[in-house]
């Protein structure tokens, strides 16, 4: 199995260039989201309403016109994946594939089956305690009430929520784990430095939800980092993250009357 440390798959770049590249990729993607989340949590904490009474909506309508809203949703998903393509492009080079390097591929039924099975296990490991922690965080007034979707009901609502969940998973796991691990390893970072950088970044762009989202995603990040370092494949993380978000988005859309 390929490892994130396989030297023959690591393009040789000078360290200053790698550092600049990492800042650019993050600045165009989840690093930017982290800064917006920091500003958002400051706004929440300084608002007159207590944190648990505020809401954080993850998927919302962009237009009252069905087809126009669908167009906006598809464009949002499409352009959100551009940093993934950029990261894969930057990691690719003569004689090696970035998708193979990160384990973001399926080379046969056995590999696909193993990735899916690991993804299901990870989703269960993260999802069940994570849900309990969320309700505790709201009860302790350290988290806003998360509304997974506020999309208007259309024939395309559920497919779009599924696509949005997969887009989130691909963006976060490829950039925050696969890409960032690869570049930090090239910079000579230690294991714990890579774990800290990846997990704190994951937590920071969830700060808009509150401190429960921040802490919960740090724990999720640490688990995912450990799994990726052991397995050398990002695809199980994408599968797990997709399952978690699909369950949250679609489940809320179908049963929101019972949950609110």
Residue 84 is inside which H or E element, if any? Answer: helix 82-91
Q: Give the number of domains in the chain.
A: 1
Task: Specify if 23 maps to a domain.
Answer: yes
Please tell me what DSSP assigns to residue 12. Answer: -
Task: Specify if 59 maps to a domain.
Answer: yes
Q: Does residue 7 carry a pLDDT above 70?
A: no
Task: Specify if 5 maps to a domain.
Answer: no
Residues 176-192: tens digit of each pLDDT: 999 999 999 999 999 99
- Residue 160, pLDDT score: 97
- Residue 93, pLDDT score: 83
Residues 225-256: tens digit of each pLDDT: 999 999 999 999 999 999 999 999 999 888 87
Task: Specify if 1 maps to a domain.
Answer: no
Residue 15 is inside which H or E element, if any? Answer: helix 15-27
b/e code 23-36 from CB counts within 10 Å (16+ = b): eebbeebbbebbee
Task: Specify if 32 maps to a domain.
Answer: yes
Percent of the chain with pLDDT over 70: 93
Task: Specify if 40 maps to a domain.
Answer: yes
Residues 102-134: tens digit of each pLDDT: 999 887 788 889 999 999 999 999 999 998 999
The range of the structural domain enclosing residue 163 comes to 15-90+99-259
- Residue 256, pLDDT score: 75
Encoded tokens for 129 = 């305690």
Encoded tokens for 200 = 């704190």
Place 259 in a pLDDT band, splitting at 50, 70 and 90.
low
Task: Specify if 25 maps to a domain.
Answer: yes
The answer to whether residues 227 and 4 touch, using CB atoms and an 8 Å cutoff, is: no
Q: What is the mean pLDDT of residues 146-172?
A: 95
Q: What is the mean pLDDT of residues 38-50?
A: 95
Task: Specify if 134 maps to a domain.
Answer: yes
Q: Does residue 8 carry a pLDDT above 80?
A: no
pTM metric for this prediction: 0.91
């Amino acid at each position: 199995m390929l490892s994130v440390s396989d030297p023959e798959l690591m393009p040789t770049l000078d360290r200053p260039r790698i550092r600049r590249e990492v800042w650019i990729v993050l600045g165009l993607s989840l690093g930017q989201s982290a800064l917006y989340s920091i500003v958002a949590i400051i706004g929440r904490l300084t608002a007159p309403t207590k944190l648990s009474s505020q809401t954080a909506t993850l998927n919302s309508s962009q237009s009252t016109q069905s087809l126009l809203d669908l167009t906006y949703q598809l464009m949002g998903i499409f352009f959100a994946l551009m940093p993934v393509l950029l990261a894969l492009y930057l990691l690719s080079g003569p004689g090696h594939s970035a998708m193979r390097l990160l384990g973001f591929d399926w080379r046969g039924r056995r590999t696909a089956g193993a990735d899916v099975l690991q993804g299901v296990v990870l989703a269960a490991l993260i999802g069940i305690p994570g849900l309990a922690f969320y309700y505790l965080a709201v009860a302790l007034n350290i988290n806003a009430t998360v509304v997974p979707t506020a999309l208007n009901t259309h024939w395309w609502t559920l497919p779009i929520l599924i696509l949005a969940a997969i887009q989130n998973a691909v963006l976060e796991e490829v950039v925050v784990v696969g890409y960032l691990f690869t570049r930090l390893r090239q910079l000579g970072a230690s294991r714990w430095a890579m774990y800290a950088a990846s997990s704190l970044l994951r937590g920071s762009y969830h700060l808009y939800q509150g401190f429960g989202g921040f802490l919960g995603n740090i724990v999720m990040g640490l688990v995912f980092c450990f799994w990726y370092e052991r397995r050398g494949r990002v695809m199980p993380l994408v599968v797990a993250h997709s399952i978690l978000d699909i369950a949250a988005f679609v489940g809320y859309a179908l049963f929101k009357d019972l949950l609110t």
